[in-house]
Amino acid sequence: MTDENDKRPDDGEPSDIRSTSITDEMRRSYLDYAMSVIVSRALPDVRDGLKPVHRRIVHSMYENNHTPDRKYVKSANIVGAVMGQYHPHGDQSIYDALVRMAQPFSMRLMLVDGQGNFGSVDGDPPAAMRYTESRMSKAAVAMIDDIDKDTVDFQENYDGTKEEPTVLPARFPNLLVNGAGGIAVGMATNIPPHNLGEVIDGCLAYIDNPAITIDDLMELIPGPDFPTAATIVGRSGIRSAYNTGRGSIIMRASATIEEIRKDRDAIIVTAIPYQVNKATLQERIAELVREKRIEGIAEVRDESDRQGMRLVIELKRDAVGEVVLNQLYRFTSLQTSFGANMVALNGGRPELLNLKDMISAFVDFREEVISRRTKYLLSKARDRAHILCGLATAVANIDEVIRIIRTSPDPNTAREALMGRDWPTGDIAPLILLVDDPKHPMNEDGTYRLSDAQARAILELRLARLTALGRDEIGDELQTLADQIRDYLDILRSRARIMAIVRTELEEMKALHATPRLTEILDSDADFEDEDLIQREDMVVTVSHAGYVKRVPLSTYRAQHRGGKGRSGMQTKEEDFVTYLFVANTHTPVLFFSSKGRVYKEKVWRLPLAAPQARGKAFINLLPIEADERITSIMPLPEDENQWATLHIMFATSSGTVRRNDLSDFVQVNRAGKIAMKLEEGEQIRDVSICTEADDVLLTTALGQCIRFPVPDVRVFKGRDSMGVRGIKLEGEDTVIAMDIIAHREISPEERAAYFKMRRAVAGEIENGDNGVEEAEETGEASVEISTERYAQLSAEEQFILTISENGYGKRSSSYEYRITGRGGKGIVAMAVNQRNGKLVSSYAVEHSDQIMLVTDGGQLIRCPVDGIRIVGRGSQGVIVFNTAEGEKVVSVERVSDEGDEDEEGSEE
């Protein structure tokens, strides 16, 4: 760059060359370019909702009479006219804009009526412009109607040879109805389409009450209405977009699950989200199926036709339709979001507008259009009335007019003579005062001088107009114009009348073009939790002594008769063995209690899914437990956490301590867990169960003792770090092996004995051996009689306690044999403990229809029905339930409330 001071007069540089800073020049040039893109290319005008290219297409089609009542013309013809006269930016960009205005899946109210291939929702490109034909739609006519009545401003085209409108009169709020999208420099716009009828209702409400709130407007305009229909999930995104101009609107395909043939369901998609490519969507689904990210889909086919869209996603026989559909929503564009960014030109400047801003700008624009149109019509009416006043004056003075014309040597002389004298006005004086031009006022004496235009009109007057009929026609037309002028003046003087016209024209547009809403708006939230993608299925959860856990579908295990050999439940190492097993739904929340008295919470589906013989995954890799910490008790919870407020949780430790807390204390458990119970050295949480005030607690020890006491005997502890109170007094090395919560039933010893006696009589049993009553009561005979009704009541309320020993022996005993005592005693015999039976491993209440699963420390597992286990006395030894292998012991027993299928006795699956 040359400095000004370095220039010499003799350099010979032209006088119009000057030096400038390259930084300033780049800044200025870039700003000019940016403003050109923003104002003249990428952003729509808030008034008519059109970008310059769309506006030019509509104007050119109107100018060349490509209206709905004319025949279609080649699109190339239209594109050529637009490019040659208004838009010198290449034919392809013009044709792309024209094509979009003719696509029913892009526009909520099409502005171009196309004939031929204009593309498809599958992403197929339109045919070349030489093959397709187009014309204006009726909605486009409404956009440009009254443009010839000085309703909008015009500007020169790019070469100054023609004029083009800066905005179209737009009889409906096109920006909201059809939306817009564009990327400018430093800003972008993305406005969703809406329903015409709803938007007009919103405009009418704004006209009635300019102070209306956006919430009130949303009662009339609940949300976007996409041309591809589908659904909108949730209203938060809509509310944000309408209030702030920005918001993420969740769109979801319309899909149903139908049975297409026996035992085979399919997901039927009838509408997809706006701007989603159906062919690309199918490819994405197929890709997810190949990658096994979505399982359960057998086939995807497109059955769409002229009647509508129909995408069939056929499912496998074992697939759950709701789960697969949720997975499709999660991983494909069957659910996507529309990022609303409502930027438009307002007064020539880009602005981020809310819903009310857009409606306000349109209504104000329509008010201006009506006002300008009325002024134009008033001007035209006055011009015509001015001529008619001259003709009426000539007719009223026809003899003098004829004399002047006959005596004048030429037309100019006659014209000057007519203009050079005062003419009496007669009956038309009031009309002249109303309609005449101020430049030619009426004189004080009531006479009137003709203007040049009036004199020329008189000279061109045909003789036929001098007849009585002709004179009446002039008078009637003048009177009609006078009425119109009065009306126009009244409109211009009254804003209320202008707004009434705006309202009337909007109502007419609604009657002509409004259609029912296509997009359904759902109130539910669209945010999926991971568990929404997991089907509900019963799982067998197995835990090993070394801290490995896994889940296996319950359907994997088939029922066997008691005494069967079972099947492998977990592949364990020699030093490891299975210690715990339970059955729960995949959506069941589970509390895990550790040896250090902490509690952790997880859903069953988060546990590792594995084969029956697999080892599983270590707890230390699933839960944030320490290296010397292990899980000692596991408790499945009700899925509905709203029920937790009325329930309590009962803790039992290996040393016989119990504690009761509100279950609601464990609703919120952080990922890191929290303290559940304070423990003594060497003490462990043996069991945890849900209970109510109407329940009893049954504690059973390894050496065969048990105690039953009411839940209210244990007060509700407010803290989670307390130690609790004594539940049972243990002898020697005895430990608590099980706790169960059973229904509280009051029954006297005499009534109990009478009940057992009647039950034996009903069953036809002989009173000898194992008859199901305590020895003391058996020898003492029933001292009371019970009625049939009381017997039926006791029979309905009776529960049976299943007790299993480590050597695989078990029995069922009546809950009436477990008498209720006070908390803290030594208890009574639960089952004979000897060399045959071994120590007890489990004891809890079961139903006749239940099944149980037993697992050994060697990993063997059996599932058998409860009704095959004999009902005997509480102190009896029991019968063989699990024929364990030599050296193996039963370590866990779990109830399964599902009868399932049965194999042959002793058979393996």
Provide the edge-to-edge strand list for the sheet that holds 725-726.
Answer: 685-691, 648-653, 657-662, 725-726
Return the SS3 of 674.
strand
Secondary structure of 115-144 as H, E, C letters: ECCCCCCCCCCCCCCCCCEEEECHHHHHHH
- Quick check: is 131 catalytic? yes
Q: Which amino acid is at 812?
A: R
How is residue 818 written in tokens? Answer: 């477990």
Say which DSSP state 870 is in.
Answer: P
Q: Where are the beta strands (DSSP E) in 347-470?
A: 349-352, 423-424, 447-448
Gap between the Cα atoms of 292 and 902, Å rounded: 33
State the Cα–Cα distance between residues 697 and 687, nearest whole angstrom: 12
Backbone angles phi, psi at 631, to 5 degrees: -80, 125
Within 10 angstroms of residue 383's Cβ, the number of other Cβ atoms is 14
| Tokens 């409108």 sit on residue | 165
CA distances from 382 to 370, 379, 438, 495 (A): 18, 5, 11, 22
**Residue of 33, 62, 95, 131 with catalytic role:** 131
Residue 164: count other Cβ atoms within 10 Å of its Cβ.
18
Could you give the angle at which helices 236-244 and 355-396 cross, rounded to 10 degrees?
50
Judge contact between 874 and 831, C-beta under 8 A.
yes
Rounded Cα–Cα distance for residues 677 and 374 (Å): 85
The DSSP H or E segment spanning 240 is helix 236-244
Q: Residue 529 carries which DSSP code?
A: P
Compute the distance between CA of residue 853 and CA of residue 864 in angstroms, rounded to an integer.
7
Q: What 3-state DSSP class applies to 562?
A: coil
Residue whose C-alpha is closest to residue 706's, from 738, 749, 667, 660 = 738
The CA angle 609-611-615, to the nearest 5 degrees, is 85
* CB 648, CB 690: distance < 8 Å: yes
* Strand ranges across the sheet with 695-701: 736-743, 695-701, 705-710, 828-829
Question: Active-site residue numbers?
Answer: 131
